[in-house]
């Protein structure tokens, strides 16, 4: 949804198609908005990718919006994900351990707060948004500058320490860059 014109209805169709193919449907949200998270999860997404998570509070809010009580605050709907009510118990049990929350690390503030963000119970992974991160450093798109490389190094070190998997958005298809990112962890 972020940086696109896809509607919630179109997202539901994409989720259904992806799910029917046996692939895990994740939705990149337009914001850390509990109403949008609820609608996407009710449409059948298995998880969310949450942009601009800069604090522990924002990470907790995202996790809480994905999970039903007592683990979260998501209200109960009876939509596609719950079989329109017929499969609620199955979905309720499934969502406790199968939903994913991926936080986007896109600002130097997030890097400064990374250990607390990635320590939130229910944050499963992270992905770096390199353009926004470099922009927050005042060097948009300059990925070879020392301050950007230092931020990336800190991200890798903290995530390795905590055992949280992550990734980075590679903008231009580049197999060499992909392999380097994999080697770097």
Is 90 in the active site? Answer: no
Of the candidates 43, 49, 34, which has an alpha carbon nearest to the alpha carbon of residue 77?
43
Q: CB neighbours (10 Å) of residue 46?
A: 20
Task: Quickly list H helices, 67-113.
Answer: 88-98, 108-112
- DSSP state string for 7-52: -HHHHHHHHHHHHHTT---EEE-SSS-HHHHHHHHHTT-SEEEES-
Which residue in the list 3, 57, 90, 107 is annotated as catalytic? 3
Listed as own residue / partner, the contacts of 142-145 with beta carbons closer than 8 Å and 24 or more positions apart are none
Query: Which active-site residues does the annotation give?
Result: 3
């Amino acid at each position: 949804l972020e940086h696109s014109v896809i509607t919630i209805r179109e997202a539901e169709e994409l989720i259904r198609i992806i799910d029917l193919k046996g692939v895990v449907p994740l939705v990149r949200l337009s914001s850390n908005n509990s109403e949008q998270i609820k609608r996407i999860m009710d449409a059948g997404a298995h998880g969310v990718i949450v942009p601009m998570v800069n604090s522990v509070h924002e990470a907790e809010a995202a996790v809480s919006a994905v999970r039903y009580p007592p683990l979260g605050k998501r209200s109960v709907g009876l939509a596609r994900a719950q079989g329109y009510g017929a499969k609620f118990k199955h979905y309720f049990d499934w969502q406790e351990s199968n939903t994913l929350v991926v936080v986007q690390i896109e600002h130097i503030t997030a890097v400064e707060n990374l250990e607390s963000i990635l320590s939130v119970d229910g944050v499963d992974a992270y992905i770096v948004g390199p353009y926004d991160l470099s922009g927050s450093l005042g060097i948009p798109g300059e990925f070879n500058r020392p301050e950007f490389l230092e931020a990336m190094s800190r991200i890798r070190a903290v995530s390795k320490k905590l055992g949280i998997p992550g990734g980075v958005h590679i903008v231009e298809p580049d197999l060499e860059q992909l392999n380097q990112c994999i080697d770097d962890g």
